[in-house]
Structure 1
Amino acid sequence: MAMIQSLPVEDPRAHALLEEYFHSREIGFAHQNTVYTANFPAASVFTPPAGVFVVLVDGEGRDVGCGGIRRIADDGEDIRYEVKHLYLRPETRGRGWGRLLLDDLERRARDWDATQLVLDTHHSLEAAAGLYRSAGFALTERFNDNPNATRWYAKSLR
């Protein structure tokens, strides 16, 4: 049984998973002759209610995944949060834990009255795209200048 814990993004456990995530993306991009730009997030963007960072712990107490949401827009009517750094260690994929993380982050966004959840990804991450589509996300227009992204998704929470 896996469980989700919120942790400060600068916590050593969270930081270790982010390092793995960024390293895996660097390798994946290198195989495509593309450069990946790693940017460790500032703690403030994942501090409630601006956002939250979570770590997925497996039944044996090992940290096996992570992800976060951060508020990127609030104009009074629309409150938008962005999913960031959703990652599972390769040996744990296919167990439904990516969906568990994504559903937890969506629940947290709804708790903060979010009206929309957005994310970006790279076209080479087909399994991730499948997860996002199955969770109700649809392709949308580019909403940021992330140099690592080639696809943008949105989900209405209304």
Structure 2
Amino acid sequence: MTITVARTADRWEVSPADVGSEEAQALLRDYYTDVANRYYRLHLGRDGTPEEIESGLADSPSDDLAAPTGAFVLGRYDGAAQACAGLRVRDARTVELTRVFVRHEVRGSGGGGRLLAAVDEAARSLGAERIVLDTRLDLVEARALYSRHGYSEIPAYNTGPYAQIWYAKNLTAPAHADR
């Protein structure tokens, strides 16, 4: 007999968090390991080595995801830290979304949508009218999430080594339904 456990968005709580906290750092490590290993598997046919992961983490600090240069939100599923997202101020009207991550065991439970709603609120509190982001083409789940939540493809705004597709969301438009 198989039992299916229903997961609903009301089991999620998303709130601002200290990017330097132990929980945030653990989620950021899991995020980086996840996206790095997907890249290594796709391009090299293997996972990243511990040294490669550590080097990548050191080269991608997240300390700017705190006031006044940004914001960070942490998502809790049934009270446990399971998701995160960060914002980086680009200019007076624009912030950049980064480090969006939901642990695999709770994906599909509404956490991504809850994170993005909290990000919109955090962006507005920073005075932003627009959110931009870049991602890789192979991160299809993330791309689908962004599209479902009002992000549209835009021309490149940076030349990051892993940036392959760019999106933006206008915050002055009516709120997009959480689907």
> How high is the TM-score relative to the length of structure 2?
0.78
1:42 Cα deviation after fit: 4.2
Alignment of 1:25-36 (within 5 A): 25-33=35-43
Secondary structure, in 3 states, of the residue corresponding to 2:101? strand
Unaligned runs of 5+ in 2: 1-10, 173-179
**Quick check: 1:121–1:149 contact (8 Å CA) kept in 2?**
yes
User: 1:46-75, CA deviations, whole angstroms, 9 ceiling, x for partnerless residues?
Assistant: 22242111111111x21101111111112x
Q: How many residues align?
A: 152
Give the aligned residue type for 2:86: G
Residues 81 and 109 in structure 1, CA contact (< 8 A), matched pair in contact too: yes
Runs of 4 or more consecutive aligned structure 1 residues displaced over 4 Å after TM superposition: 34-38
RMSD: 1.7
Aligned to 2:122: 108
Q: Equivalent residue for 1:70?
A: 88
Give matches, 1:71-150, under 5 Å. Answer: 71-74=89-92, 79-150=93-164
Determine if contact 1:9/1:41 at 8 Å carries over to the other structure.
Answer: no
How many Å separate the matches in 2 of 1:42 and 1:126? Answer: 23
Structure 1 residues 5 and 157: alpha-carbon distance in aligned structure 2, compared to 1, 3 A threshold:
closer
Rounded Cα–Cα distance in structure 1 between residues aligned with 2:96 and 2:34: 21
| One of 56, 61, 72 as aligned partner of 1:41 | 61
- The structure with more radius of gyration: 2
C-alpha deviations, 1:101-121, integer Å up to 9, x for none? 011101111223211100111
Percent identity between the two aligned chains: 29
CA distance in 1, matches of 2:82, 2:42: 26
CA distance in 1, matches of 2:60, 2:13: 24
User: Which segments of 5 or more consecutive residues in structure 1 lack a partner in the other structure?
Assistant: none
TM-score (norm 1): 0.88
Matches of 2:87 and 2:62, distance apart in 1: 12
